[in-house]
């Protein structure tokens, strides 16, 4: 790699041991993947900040970092383990809250922006087209690359943190045009019936792994793109997608000779059966990834049409970020009047909920993937559409 004089100085330790560690991480990754240089970046998104996923060792490491360094670029952060800036709607132990608060304090000391969301593109910190990023939240990475026309690899926690400190990332992978090319064509046949994007994404994520798909036959809106991408990135490791006539780089793709996959409602519907069970949930949770303004308003309309309150014995969570909640105040009030909890700063995936809610109902294949994992939450999952969940439990 070709480093600038300033970068070489940091690598020698002239900026202090913590910056030196960060530079070593980025240079090692860059050399591993054939990067020519380090790129200046617009922003960073840090994932895994819940104490549920970070644990004590990660917390102590962040606290040590916070004593020595500050973030060099805007650094937004994923949901925490409880609603740290909210009215205390999420029940956790005092011990968990105390440990989570230590993580938040360390991040704020370094200069993190308190977005607490997996959808930073719905906030004022959405990156412009063409911006280079170092984002670690997989569902945000695929949205940024595919919908916004920004450039980001799927960063791990160490590399994203290092990039936040230095304001740079190695020039490889999705930062180069050759790394963004479509690798497989997915022909979606909707003649046999509609296909839910969240289920389609899960099915294809498992099938594609890391391959970049080019979609034909569907024209999802922005919320549909969010559903499709987040599920593919959870069930697989898809970092980007092209949708014919929809996404900004689709027209640049030459798909002649590429592998082809055909899917229809029958194939995807069969796969949907593995996403949930048939039990009675204690929690109905919507908002994985966090709800956009459009989604939150639509949920409120559906709830208002029902005209009644939540049935006893079940909690309804609608998860979003602070900015979206503030900008949809009337819809939020409709949900609260119906007995729903509008949750900020956390979500059903990263909050420690398995003891309180051993069975949870969700509308998201991404949530189903993570919440069902024994190593993560180990909850039993009921999977259904938003409309059906509201019809059944309201």
Tell me what pLDDT residue 376 has. 79
Report strand pairing: 259-264 vs 184-189: parallel
Alpha-helical segments (H) within 209-339: 222-235, 265-272, 293-306, 322-327, 329-337
The token pair that represents 165 in the structure block: 């400190």
d(C-alpha 264, C-alpha 284), whole Å: 28
Tell me what pLDDT residue 308 has. 83
* Block residue for tokens 């004590």: 56
Tell me what pLDDT residue 25 has. 98
For residue 334, what are the CA distances in angstroms to 144, 318, 324, 380?
31, 12, 15, 29
Q: What is the dihedral of CA 102, 103, 107, 113, to 10 degrees?
A: -110
- For the chain, which ranges sit under pLDDT 70? none
CATH 3.40.50.2300 for domain 276-393:
no
Tell me what pLDDT residue 374 has. 76
Residues of the chain with CATH 3.30.499.10: 276-393
Domain at 5-177: CATH code = 3.30.499
pLDDT single digits (tens) 146-185: 999 999 999 999 999 999 999 999 999 999 999 999 999 9
Tell me what pLDDT residue 274 has. 87
Report the interhelical angle of 94-110 vs 51-66 (nearest 10°): 40
Could you tell me the pTM of the whole model?
A: 0.97
Tell me what pLDDT residue 248 has. 98
Tell me what pLDDT residue 11 has. 98
């Amino acid at each position: 790699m070709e480093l600038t004089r300033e970068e070489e100085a940091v690598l020698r330790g002239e900026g202090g041991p913590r910056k030196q560690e960060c530079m070593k991480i980025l240079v090692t990754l860059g050399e591993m993947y054939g990067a020519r240089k380090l790129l200046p970046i617009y922003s960073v998104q840090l994932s895994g900040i819940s104490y549920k996923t970070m644990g004590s060792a990660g917390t102590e490491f962040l606290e040590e970092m916070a004593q020595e360094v500050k973030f060099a670029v805007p650094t937004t952060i994923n949901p925490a383990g409880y609603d740290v800036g909210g009215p205390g709607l999420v029940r956790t132990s005092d011990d968990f809250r105390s440990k989570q608060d230590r993580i938040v304090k360390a991040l704020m000391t370094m200069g993190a922006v308190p977005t607490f969301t997996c959808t930073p593109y719905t906030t004022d910190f959405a990156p412009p087209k063409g911006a280079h990023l170092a984002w670690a939240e997989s569902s945000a990475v695929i949205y940024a690359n595919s919908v916004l026309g920004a450039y980001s690899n799927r960063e791990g926690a160490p590399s994203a943190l290092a990039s936040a400190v230095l304001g740079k990332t190695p020039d490889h992978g999705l930062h180069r045009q050759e790394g963004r090319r479509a690798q497989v064509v997915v022909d979606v046949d909707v003649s046999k019936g509609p296909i839910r994007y969240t289920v389609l994404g899960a099915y294809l994520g498992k099938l594609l792994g890391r391959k970049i798909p080019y979609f034909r036959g569907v024209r999802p809106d922005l919320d549909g793109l969010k559903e499709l991408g987040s599920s593919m990135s959870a069930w697989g490791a898809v970092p980007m997608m092209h949708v014919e006539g929809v996404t900004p780089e689709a027209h640049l793709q030459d798909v002649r000779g590429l592998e082809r996959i055909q899917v229809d409602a029958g194939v995807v519907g069969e796969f949907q059966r593995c996403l949930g069970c048939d039990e009675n949930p204690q929690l109905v949770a919507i908002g994985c990834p966090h709800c956009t303004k459009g989604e939150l308003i639509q949920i409120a309309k559906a709830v208002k049409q029902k005209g009644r309150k939540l049935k006893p014995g079940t909690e309804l969570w609608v998860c979003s970020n602070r900015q979206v909640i503030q900008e949809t105040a009337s819809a939020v009030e409709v949900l609260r009047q119906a007995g729903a909890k509008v949750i900020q700063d956390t979500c059903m995936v990263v909050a420690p909920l398995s003891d309180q809610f051993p069975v949870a109902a969700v509308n998201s294949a991404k949530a189903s993937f993570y919440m069902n994992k024994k190593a993560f939450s180990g909850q039993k999952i009921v999977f259904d559409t938003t409309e059906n969940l509201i019809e059944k439990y309201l």
